[in-house]
Chain A
Amino acid sequence: MAESKLTEERIIADIVDRYENDEGMLIPMMQDLQAECGYLPLDQLHRLAARLDVPLSRLYAVATFYSSFRLAPKGLHEVTLCVGTVCYLKGSGAISEALRKEFQVEASGTTPDGLFSFHPVNCVGACAVAPVMIVDGKYYNGITLDSARDILRGLSPEEAPAESEAQK
C-alpha cells in the first residue's frame, strides 16, 4: 500500500517536473496523467493541485470543460464514432443512437460490463471516407449500422488492445 502511494506520488512529481512546474502547462500535465492512469483519479488530482499550489476547483473546471478528460476509468476498448457533419449526413447520428441503445452506453461513457468506452466526436478529419469509426486506433470507413454493430459485438472481453495511436 505504502509502495503504491509512493508510485502515485512519483507519477505526479515526474509530470510536474516535465513541465518545469509551469502552471500554464496544466492541460498537458493532466493529459499525461490521463495517459498514465487511463483517467483522472481524484486523489491524483488532489496531489497535482497541491504541488502546483492551485485550487482543486481549477483542475475540476479544466477536466469538465474539455471533452477528452475522463473522471472515471475507461473501458477495455476505445470506440470513437465520428458524428461530424459529413459522417452525420451519411447516417452516423442514427448509428450512434442505435449503438448507445443496444450497448447501454452513454456518450463518452463506458458500457456496464466495461467492454468499451464510447466517444461520439465531432470530426476526426477523415471526411472523404465517411462515416468513420475508430476502434482501438484502427479506422473503419464507410460503416453502416450493421457493420458497426458487428465490429462492436466482435470485441474481445478478455484481450486488451495493444497501445494504439488513438490512445497515445
Chain B
Amino acid sequence: MTVVGMERLSTTADLERLREDLRKRRDPAAKCVRVCIGPGCVAKGAMRLHELFTEAVRQTGADVAIEAKGVGCHGLCERGPLVIVHPGNIFYQRVEEPDVAEIFRETVLGGRVVERLLYEDPATGERARTADGIPFYKAQQRIALAHCGVIDPASLEDYIAAGGYSALAKALTTMTPEQVLQEVERSGLRGRGGGGFPTGRKWRSCRNAAGEPKYVICNGDEGDPGAFMDRVVMEGDPHAVLEGMVIGAYAIGSSQGYIYVRNEYPLSVDRLKGAIGQARELGLLGEDILGTGFSFDIRINRGGGAFVCGESTALMASLEGRPGEPRAKYVHTVEHGLHDKPTNLNNVETWANVPAIINHGAKWFASIGTEKSTGTKVFSLVGDVVNTGLVEVPMGITLRRIIEAIGGGVQGGKAFKAVQTGGPSGGCIPAEHLDAQVDFDQLTKLGSMMGSGGMIVMDEDTCMVNVARYFTNFLRDESCGKCTPCREGLAQMLSILDRITHGEGEVGDVERLQAMAVLLEGTAMCALGKTAANPALSTIRYFRDEYDAHILEKRCPAKECRGLFRYAIDAEACKACGLCKKHCPVDAISGEKKVPHVIDQEKCTLCGTCFEKCPFDAVLKV
C-alpha cells in the first residue's frame, strides 16, 4: 500500500490528473501477487499467506518491481486460500504456507507455473491456469464485484487507478440531479436487499418529498444467515459503496448519509471507516466535493445484533438510538424516515451498482438480465454444493445453471433436494423448478423470493420439516415482539413444527400451520412478519409428503429427526472393530471379535455416537 502525498482534489481535472499519474507510476512489467483476503480465505489462513508473500517481496531485493497485495473475495471460497500471480493471472488454489516459497521462486521470479496448485476440473481432469478456464467463473459477470479480488480494498490509489470516482466526477460536472435520476430509472435497477423496489423511483420520491434535511442510508445489516454478499462488497470494494452513495445523494439532494453495518462484521466497519477517511482527505466526501459546491458526508453506525434491523423502519429506529422495532409501512420512509425526515435507504449491493450505471449508461445496464430484472445479482452459493462461494450472475439465469454449471452440482454425489433462497423468510425450491429463471418475479411466483441473495443448496439428507422448523425458530427468536401475529403466531407455528419433528404431529397440523400463515401474512405489520410463514408454506407446498411421513408414519424420510429413524449395523460392512461398542454410552451394542456387531433397539437411545465413530460406514440409518 503506497501512501502517496495526495492533495485534496479541487476539480475533476485534478482527479483525472491523479489517475493518470497513478497509472503512469505503475510499472507495466511489475509483478503482482494477489492474495484473497475475503471471509472464506481468511478463515483458512490467508492473512498469514499475505504476510509471507509480503515478507518474500521485501527480502528479494531484486531489481524487478513486485507487489504483494491482499484483495477482496475472489469467489471460489471452496478452493481457498486463493492466490493469483500477475503477469499471466495464474490462479492458484488451496495454497498453504509451505507453498509460498515455491510460488514465489517458480512463478513470481521464474515465470513458471506450479502445476500441482492449479485448479483441476473434477469432471475432465483438465487443469486451468487462469480463472477464465474454470467453469465456476465462466457463466459469471461481475459488476458489483468488479473490483473484488483485483484491487487492494484499503487503497484509494488502487480504486482510482482502476477508474474509481470517475462516475462521481461525471455525475457532478456533466449531469444534473434530474439526469442522474433518469439514468438510474432507465437502468431498471431494483433494490438488491430483498424488496426489489425500483431504485430510481425510490430516489425520485425522496427527492420530491417535502422536508429538509434529506437522509441517505446504506443498509449493511446483512442479517440473513447463509449470506455474505454485502460483507464482501463492503470489505472488498468499500469505495464503490461510498461513490454510489455520493451520486445518490447528489440526485436526491441530501447532505448526510449513514451506513448501518451489522455488528458481526467488524472488518467491514474498519474498511469503510478507512475508506471514508481517505475519501474525505481527497475531497471526494465532505464539504465542496471536487470543487463542485456539492457537500455530503457519511457516518457509520454499527448494529447491535438484531435481525429485524435489516428492515428499513427498524433500522431507522436503531439509528435514532431506540430498539429496532418496525412501524407500519403506510407511512413511507421516503417522506417520513429518519428523524421524521425524507430518507432514502438502499442496500450495499444496490449502491455498488450505481457507479457502473453512471459510467456505462442505463442502456448498457438494462441490456443485461431480463426485461423486468435488469443487471446482475450476487449470490452466496453455499450448503451442499461442490463449489461454495460468491457468484455474480446476470438476472434471468436458471437455478440449474447456477447450481450445476457454476456450483458443480451437489457434494458427495448425493441427490439434490432443494435450494433455499431469500433468507429465513424465503422459501425452498425443489428440483422440478430448477429450470426457473432467477429474477425477482419468478422466485416470488415459486413461493420464495430473491431476498438479499443467499442461495443454500440442500441434498437428499436434509429434512424439509426440520428446515422449516429451523427458520421458524430463527424468526421467532428475532421477532421484535411489537405486533401480536408475528410474536405469538410464530411461537405457535414453532410449537407445531417442534411436535412434528419430535414424532408427535397430529392429523390437521399442516392445515393449522397454513391457517396461521394466512393470518400472519395478512395482519403482521412489517415485511419480515408478513413473509415469516414462507419457510413453512413453501416446504408444505413442495414437500407435503415429508410432513405426512412425520405425522402419519412417525418416520423422517431424510433420517434427520431424532427418534423418527433407527440405527442398525450392516453385517456385511461391519469389520467387528469394536469402536461402536466401546463408545456406546448405554451399552446397547453387542458383538465379539470377528462377529458383526448388533444394536439392541430396546436399549438404544438414538444418540448417534456409533454412526459418528464407525470408520467403515457400517452403521446405517434405517
Which residues of A are at the interface with B, using a C-beta cutoff of 8 A?
Answer: 23-28, 31, 58, 61-62, 65-69, 84-89, 93, 121-130, 132, 139-141, 165-166, 168
Give the chain B neighbours of A85 by CB distance below 8 A.
225-226, 383, 420, 424, 454, 456, 470-471, 474
Q: Is the CB of A128 within 8 A of B382?
A: yes
Q: Max chain B CB contacts within 10 Å: which of A65, A67, A69, A93?
A: A65
Give the chain A neighbours of B474 by CB distance below 8 A.
85, 122
Smallest beta-carbon distance B342→chain A, Å = 17
Q: Is the CB of B226 within 8 A of A26?
A: no
Q: Is the CB of A27 within 8 A of B43?
A: no
Q: Is the CB of B263 within 8 A of A125?
A: no
Which residues of B are at the interface with A, using a C-beta cutoff of 8 A?
Answer: 39-40, 42-44, 77-78, 80, 222-228, 231, 263-267, 270, 301-307, 318-324, 339, 380, 382-384, 388-390, 420, 424, 454, 456, 458, 462, 467, 470-471, 474, 478, 480
Q: Is the CB of B39 within 8 A of A125?
A: yes
Give the chain A neighbours of B43 by CB distance below 8 A.
126, 129, 132, 139-141
Looking across the interface, which residue of chain B has its beta carbon closest to that of A26?
Answer: B321
Give the chain B neighbours of A123 by CB distance below 8 A.
223-228, 264
A85-B456, A127-B388, A139-B42 known, 4 other contacts, Cβ within 8 Å: A27-B321, A61-B322, A68-B303, A86-B226
Smallest beta-carbon distance B385→chain A, Å = 10
Q: Known: A28-B302, A125-B228, A141-B43. Is A65-B324 also a contact (CB below 8 A)?
A: yes
Q: Is the CB of A65 within 8 A of B228?
A: no
CA distance A88 to B225 in the complex (A): 10
Give the chain B neighbours of A141 by CB distance below 8 A.
40, 43-44
Looking across the interface, which residue of chain B has its beta carbon closest to that of A31?
Answer: B302
Give the chain A neighbours of B319 by CB distance below 8 A.
24
Q: Is the CB of A125 within 8 A of B227?
A: yes
Give the chain B neighbours of A84 by CB distance below 8 A.
225-226
CA distance A65 to B389 in the complex (A): 32
Q: Known: A62-B322, A85-B225. Is A124-B264 also a contact (CB below 8 A)?
A: yes
Q: Max chain A CB contacts within 10 Å: which of B321, B324, B480?
A: B321
Looking across the interface, which residue of chain B has its beta carbon closest to that of A134?
Answer: B43
Which 3 A-B residue pairings sit nearest by Cβ, starting from the closest?
A66-B304, A84-B225, A26-B321
Looking across the interface, which residue of chain A has its beta carbon closest to that of B325?
Answer: A65
Q: Known: A127-B380, A132-B43. Is A121-B226 also a contact (CB below 8 A)?
A: no
Smallest beta-carbon distance B326→chain A, Å = 13
A and B contact pairs by CB, cutoff 8 A, 26 listed: A24-B321, A26-B322, A58-B322, A61-B322, A66-B323, A68-B303, A84-B226, A85-B383, A85-B424, A85-B456, A85-B471, A85-B474, A86-B225, A88-B225, A122-B223, A122-B478, A123-B264, A124-B39, A125-B222, A126-B40, A127-B225, A127-B382, A128-B77, A129-B44, A141-B43, A165-B266
CA distance A68 to B478 in the complex (A): 13
CA distance A111 to B270 in the complex (A): 30
Looking across the interface, which residue of chain B has its beta carbon closest to that of A22?
Answer: B321
CA distance A125 to B265 in the complex (A): 8
Q: Is the CB of B306 within 8 A of A66?
A: yes
Give the chain A neighbours of B303 by CB distance below 8 A.
66, 68
CA distance A31 to B318 in the complex (A): 13
Give the chain A neighbours of B264 by CB distance below 8 A.
121, 123-125
CA distance A85 to B318 in the complex (A): 25
CA distance A110 to B357 in the complex (A): 49
Smallest beta-carbon distance A124→chain B, Å = 5
Give the chain A neighbours of B480 by CB distance below 8 A.
65
Q: Is the CB of A130 within 8 A of B382?
A: yes
Smallest beta-carbon distance B487→chain A, Å = 14
Smallest beta-carbon distance A57→chain B, Å = 11
Q: Is the CB of A68 within 8 A of B44?
A: no
Q: Is the CB of B389 within 8 A of A128?
A: yes
Give the chain B neighbours of A87 by CB distance below 8 A.
225
- Picked from A24, A58, A86, A128, the residue with its CB within 8 Å of the CB of B339 is A24
Give the chain B neighbours of A125 by CB distance below 8 A.
39, 222, 227-228, 231, 264-265
Q: Known: A125-B227, A129-B40, A139-B42. Is A89-B456 also a contact (CB below 8 A)?
A: yes
Looking across the interface, which residue of chain A has its beta carbon closest to that of B324?
Answer: A65
CA distance A132 to B44 in the complex (A): 11
CA distance A2 to B31 in the complex (A): 61
Smallest beta-carbon distance A95→chain B, Å = 12
Give the chain B neighbours of A86 by CB distance below 8 A.
225-226, 382-383, 456
Give the chain B neighbours of A165 by CB distance below 8 A.
266-267
Give the chain B neighbours of A89 by CB distance below 8 A.
383-384, 456, 458, 462, 467
Q: Is the CB of A68 within 8 A of B304?
A: yes
- Picked from B224, B321, B467, the residue with its CB within 8 Å of the CB of A25 is B321
CA distance A130 to B264 in the complex (A): 16
Q: Max chain B CB contacts within 10 Å: which of A85, A124, A128?
A: A128
Looking across the interface, which residue of chain A has its beta carbon closest to that of B263?
Answer: A68
- Picked from B227, B306, B322, B470, the residue with its CB within 8 Å of the CB of A127 is B227
Looking across the interface, which residue of chain B has its beta carbon closest to that of A87?
Answer: B225
